[in-house]
Amino acid sequence: MINITIDNKLVSVPKGTNIFKAAKDNGIYIPGLCYHPKLTQYGGCRLCMVEVTERGRSRHRFSCAQPVAEGMVVKTNTPETEKYTKSVMEYLLAHHPLDCPTCDKSGECGLQEITHDLKLKPGRFKGARLDDPMRRDNPLLEYNSNRCILCSRCVKVCKEIAGVGAIDYQNRGFKTVVGTAFDKPLDCSFCGGCVSVCPTGSWQDRTLKFKARPWELKKTPTVCTYCAVGCSLVINTKDNEVMRVTADENINLGINESNLCVKGKFGHEFINSDKRVKTPLIKKGGKLRSASWDDALDHISKKFSEIIEKSGGNAIGGIGSEKCTNEDNYLFQKLCRTVLGTNYIDNISNMKSPSLNRLINNSVAYGMASTSLEGIENADTVFFVGADVSEAHPVAGSMVRKAIRVNKTKVIIANVRNVEFGCETKDLLRLNYKLGTQTALINAMIKVIVDEKLVNLKKAADKTENFSELRSFLRSSDLGIKKVSKATNIPEDSIRAAASSIAKAGNCYVICGKDIEEDPSGEETIEALMNLCALVNKGDSDKVSIVFSRQNNNSQGVNDMGVVPEFLPGYLDINDQENRAVVEESWDAKLPAVLKNSPGDIFDLAVKKKIKAIYVMGENPIVNYPNGKKVNDAFKKAEFVVVQDSFLTETAQLADVVLPSSTFAEKGGTFTNMVMTVQRLHKAIPQVGDSKPDWQIICNLAEKMGHEFDYTTSKDIVDEIGKSVPIYEGIEVNRLRRKGFHWILSLYYKTKAEKYQFEIARKKTSAKKGNTKYPFTLLTGSSLRHQGTYSRNSESLVSLASECFVEINRQDAKKAKIVDGDNVKIESAQGNIKLKAKTTGRVPEGAVFVSEDYEWVPVNNLRGDGYTNVKISKTK
């Protein structure tokens, strides 16, 4: 720490801090418009002049460009600095249109504030005022170059954080503006970073236009409801309606340094959408009609009781939600188990990757699971495996970009597709493997490390259970680098380079993505990945950690809360008598009897008519579940379907009763992100229409069915979770207020990591089979601009991305005479859909890619179990 004096106040700040930040962090104001703590320093606005006295010599310095030095004495406000700053402002305002009355920034504008603070009068210069037209070439952002003071913040945020570089200074001198190349319409990731950092009214959020003035907005910090990164954001409301989302109020709020992606920033219109389900609905004569809560709950309670009486509790299946809070999900499983008496509860993420919970828990038990996502900013190596970070977890991508900027981090991307990753590093290694060869690739990397002794093998052998078994497995001839290189289609050198970067000491993050987790051979690949991590950790230093990137905001929490058939909350084996006794006692209720066979998939059982009623909370399985045909069948055959949702989704339309649930903006509770950081939500607006938070609906239903679920606020449920879910022990609302609760971290404190046992793949991965009738493989994945029901009901996102494309490799497209924009029919054995084509180099030959996140595109209708083969043809 360095001690300096600023305006007679002694402050102590870390080495390398500049005077501007040191002052700001200690509550001392220095005018300045270009410096931003999350961006590289620029020193362009010239407003932050201070007087610095060192060793008896006083000089004037730009405070944002001057690092602190021991004993420095700084004066921020002297007659000289004031005179200087005033004249700089005079220059800045000489070209400025001074159109504050028509500017949405008015009231939160840096330029306006400094003008006010310095008590500026009309300047001496009557220079030409700029008069360029306002640019509106996209639905989200508009740009007024006249108001720009060329501080470069937007240019930097776009390049350094968004990794896009869509904008830069164009032209020179008086004509300099921020703009796109060749003046083209803005086509970027629309993260809104530029609007957030712009200190003037140049960049504007069009979705706020004419709706509210900044000072009218009430601000409530909460957590994003889209992906599993778990960004903190601030909901801005007026008259109980959400007007916009910001994040730049406090850079230390949450894990995202006030960065957001397009969904977090602009995807909020669903909250106050007209399409919300506002009252309960009951199906009568084939039509869903408005009903009172009482009638709806009566009806459900009666129906459920009948079914339980006739066929037992196990005839009801419950689907919990990856989007609802932990509290919602906790009560949901409690209701299903104790009130309905069923063992059949599940969630879509578990149905898609049934072994994932076990594998993640292993990674925790071995002490390899990462505890902090933002820790990636200190990584020396980041290895993405089957993870499309730019589309699926954009802000995690920004974290990696920061790591690259600060640490020169090496990034390795292993994927079937040449996925996008915006960054300006030459240190990006791509391993574009052939689908189905990913396990071989990882094993080959392990073999390189062992053969070339890149880590201390003796140490590795000592610290693990069965290193010799791994060695003999590696000797198998299929893992020779030549062979693997041929099979995977990756050059030998790249495999070697990747292996040695991971083996090299230093912080390494391995990020395993959905493409691996949901692959038919996912289990083996993940086991191989863990072997790789363990080998390096044990043979070197414990510096490799692994992150399993879940999809939705609470995909982790829904599993933690026990919305899975085999686990009680906190992954307690439901068949273990001791666990059952403890839980039964704490809940003061009976659990349903242990099932003799392993529980099957709810939809399979519904198809077989073993499950007669389905109760869905906050999910749209008709669209989200990978096997479209099966799930459609299941819902058709079910006698009684209850759906609890904020919108009339495809699934809700099939329901007998629909219960309107409140969105994340209307409730408290917690979400658990992909590294098990539990973060707290805050209610920003009252419930829309007659909707209620899911947990409250569950309490009401329980009561109707004669059970007391006595919780008044979501806090009561958090408290119970803290008491009865072992991994959440110690979670208290107060602690959550300050920082999130990291359950892995608290587990690491309490327990010692287990000795690592290498998993040796015994069965051979079945190679992907070719198919002459359906020559293409269908790849599906995430999309930056959409994610299910919420984005679909956010107008601005829809107008930005109204079309879901099928991405086809350029060569394949050429052969099939398909060009961009052609209508293409994609057909599998299960069904077909029609989409517009986009030709690309990102998808390998022989495959087509369709995003799963455009909810109105039923791509899952094409999919069965395992890989899906399709054929494509041009159509009208």
Nearer Cβ to other proteins (162/450): 162
Least Å from the CB of residue 19 to ligand FES: 9
Question: What's the gap between Cα 820 and its chain centre?
Answer: 30
Q: Considering CB distances under 5 to 8 angstroms, the limit depending on partner class, which of ligand FES, other proteins, ligand SF4, none binds residue 596?
A: none
CB of 233 to ligand SF4, least distance (A): 7
Closest approach, Cβ 382 to other proteins, in A, equals 18
Establish if 38 lies at the interface with ligand FES (CB under 6 A): no
Cα 445 from chain centre:
29
* DSSP code of residue 496: H
Q: At what angle do helices 467-474 and 438-451 cross, to 10 degrees?
A: 110
Q: Is 44 in the site for other proteins (CB under 8 A)?
A: no
Should residue 806 be labelled a site residue for ligand FES when binding is judged by CB under 6 A?
no
Q: Which residues ranging from 729 to 788 are in contact with ligand SF4 (CB under 6 A)?
A: none
692 binds, among ligand SF4, ligand FES, other proteins, none (CB under 5 to 8 A by kind): none
Binding partner of 45, given other proteins, ligand SF4, ligand FES, none, CB within 5-8 angstroms per partner class: ligand FES
Here's the x/- map for other proteins, 170-209, by CB under 8 A: it reads as xxx------xxxx---------------------------
CA dihedral 20, 23, 24, 26 (to 10 degrees): 160
Choosing from 389, 395, 688, 801, the residue that interacts with ligand SF4 (CB under 6 A) is: 395
Subset of 414-433 contacting other proteins (CB under 8 A)? 424-426
Q: Is residue 267 involved in binding ligand FES (CB under 6 A)? A: no
Sheet holding 232-238, edge to edge: 218-223, 232-238, 241-246
Are 132 and 115 a contacting pair, CB within 8 Å?
A: no
Site for ligand FES in 552-571 (CB under 6 A): none
Whether the CB-CB separation of 87 and 46 falls below 8 Å is answered with no
- The residue from 22, 23, 50, 62 that contacts ligand FES (CB under 6 A) is 62
- Report how far Cα 68 is from the mean position of its chain's Cα atoms: 37
Instruction: Determine, following the binding rule CB under 6 A, whether residue 67 of this chain makes contact with ligand FES.
Output: no
Q: Which residue has the tokens 């899952």?
A: 860
> Element (H or E) spanning 20, and its range?
helix 19-25
Per-residue x/- marks for other proteins, 151-170, CB under 8 A? --------x----xxxxxxx
What minimum distance in Å lies between the beta carbon of 64 and other proteins?
A: 22
Asked if 674 touches ligand SF4 (CB under 6 A), the answer is no
**Residue 735, φ and ψ in degrees, nearest 5:** -70, -35
Binding test (CB under 6 A) with ligand FES, winner from 32, 280, 313, 318: 32
Does 199 participate in binding ligand FES (rule CB under 6 A)?
Answer: no
Name the binder of 43 from ligand FES, ligand SF4, other proteins, none, CB < 5-8 A by kind: ligand FES
What torsion, rounded to 10 degrees, do the Cα atoms 37, 40, 45, 48 define?
50
Q: CA 161 to CA 347: how far, in whole Å?
A: 34
Angle at 91 between CA 89 and CA 97, to 5 degrees: 90
Distance CA 668, CA 869 (A): 44
Q: Which does 181 bind (CB under 5 to 8 A by kind): other proteins, ligand FES, ligand SF4, none?
A: other proteins
Place of tokens 């079309």: 803
Q: What is the DSSP string of 798-811?
A: HHHS--PEEEEEHH
Cβ at position 151, least distance to ligand FES in Å: 7
Q: Given the rule CB under 6 A, which of 184-192, 556-564, 594-602, 795-803 is the region that contacts ligand SF4?
A: 184-192
Q: Between 191 and 544, name the residue whose CB sits nearer to ligand SF4.
A: 191
How many residues sit in the footprint of other proteins (CB under 8 A)? 17
Given the complex with ligand SF4, which of 99 and 478 has the nearer CB atom? 99
Residue 240's closest CA among 208, 277, 272? 272
* Collapsed DSSP state (helix, strand, coil) of residue 872: strand
- As measured in angstroms, the least distance from the Cβ of 40 to ligand FES is 13
**605 vs 317, 601, 637, CA distance in Å?**
9, 6, 10
Distance spanning both ends of the chain, measured CA to CA = 69
Shortest spacing between CB 47 and ligand FES, in angstroms: 5
Binding partner at 47 among ligand SF4, other proteins, ligand FES, none, C-beta below 5 to 8 Å by kind: ligand FES
Work out what residue 229 binds among ligand SF4, ligand FES, other proteins, none; the CB cut-off runs from 5 to 8 Å by kind: ligand SF4
Inter-residue contact 302 to 295 (CB < 8 Å): no
Indicate whether 64 belongs to the interface with ligand FES (CB under 6 A). Answer: yes
**What is the secondary structure of 141-177 as a DSSP string?**
EEE-GGG-----HHHHIIIIISS----EEES-GGG-E
Judged by beta carbon, residue 295 or residue 427, the one nearer other proteins is 427
Coil, strand or helix: which one is 272?
Answer: coil
Q: Which of 16, 106, 105, 22 lies closest to 67, judged by CA? A: 16
> Is residue 47 a contact point for ligand FES (CB under 6 A)?
yes
x/- track of binding to ligand SF4 for residues 528-557 (CB under 6 A):
------------------------------
Report if residue 45 touches ligand FES, rule: CB under 6 A. yes
Site string for ligand SF4, 263-292 (x = CB under 6 A): xx----------------------------
Which two three-digit tokens encode residue 332? 């949901």
Tell me the C-alpha to C-alpha distance, in Å, between residue 522 and each of 368, 487, 777: 18, 18, 17
Which token pair is 545?
Answer: 């950690």
Write each residue from 108 to 147 as x if it is in contact with other proteins (CB under 8 A), else as -, in one continuous string. Answer: ----------------------------------------
Q: By the 8 A CB rule, do 783 and 797 touch?
A: no
Other beta carbons within 10 angstroms of residue 586's beta carbon come to 11
CB atoms within 10 A of CB 496: 18
Nearer to other proteins among residue 117 and residue 493 (C-beta): 493
**Interacting residues toward ligand SF4 by CB under 6 A:** 148-154, 157-158, 162, 164, 166-167, 178, 186, 188-194, 197-200, 202-203, 224, 226-227, 229-231, 256, 260-261, 263-264, 393-395
